Amino acid sequence: MKIIQRNFQFIEPLLPLESIQSIIVHHTSREHMSAEECHEFHQKERGWSGIGYNYFIEKNGSIIEGRGQHVGAHAYGYNRTSIGICMTGDFDKEIPTTEQWSSLFWLSSFMLKLYHLQPDRVLGHRELEGVQKSCPGRLIEMDEVRKQLMEYMQ
C-alpha cells in the first residue's frame, strides 16, 4: 500500500507533531465525501486551515495524506500528540468497505511501529474524554478493531 499525496493548500503554516501518544479513528458521518471535499468543507464551513485529519481513507481504500506528520484539527486537546485517521462513510448506518479496513489496519500498523506504540493506543474519537459523538460510528466496535489490529501486526 502507499500513501497518496494531494498537496493540499493550507491557509496557515502547519506545525510539526509532538510526542505521539495515540491514533484516533474517525468517520466523516457522511456516506460519500472525498478527501478533497473534506479539505474544502473544513476550510469553508469550519474555518480551519484545511483538512483536519492526518490521513483520510476513501471507500476504495486509497489512503490520502491530509496533514501528514503535522498537528491536526480532529480531536480537541489531542491534536498535538495524535495521528487522526478518518474513513469516509457514516458508520452509524453502514460499515467500512473491505478496502477501508485493509487500509486502516495497514496505516495504523505502520504508525504504531513508527511511534513505538501498542494497538491499545488506537482509539475511537468517542473514547476521548468529553466527546459526546458516536464517532467513528456506532457500528464500529473499537475493542474488536484493536483485537484485529493486534492479529494483523503478528
Judge if the upstream peptide bond of residue 16 is cis by omega within 30 degrees of 0: no
The pLDDT score that the predictor gives to residue 30 is 92
CA distance readout (Å), 121 to 23, 40, 55, 96, 149: 6, 29, 17, 21, 11
- The domain limits of the chain are 16-153
The pLDDT score that the predictor gives to residue 70 is 97
CA distance 117 to 128: 17
| Averaged pLDDT for residues 40-58 | 96
Q: Taking all residues of the chain, what is their mean pLDDT, rounded to a whole number?
A: 96
Does position 94 have pLDDT exceeding 90, yes or no? yes
Residues 113-149: tens digit of each pLDDT:
999 999 999 999 999 998 999 999 999 999 999 999 9
At 49, the pLDDT band (50, 70, 90 cuts) reads very high
Is the Cβ–Cβ distance between 51 and 42 less than 8 Å?
A: yes
Architecture of the 16-153 domain: 3-Layer(aba) Sandwich (3.40)
| The C-alpha cell that represents 99 in the structure block | 478496502
Does position 1 have pLDDT exceeding 90, yes or no? no
Is the Cβ–Cβ distance between 70 and 53 less than 8 Å?
A: no
Q: pTM of the predicted model, to two decimals?
A: 0.96
| Averaged pLDDT for residues 5-18 | 94
| The C-alpha cell that represents 118 in the structure block | 501498542
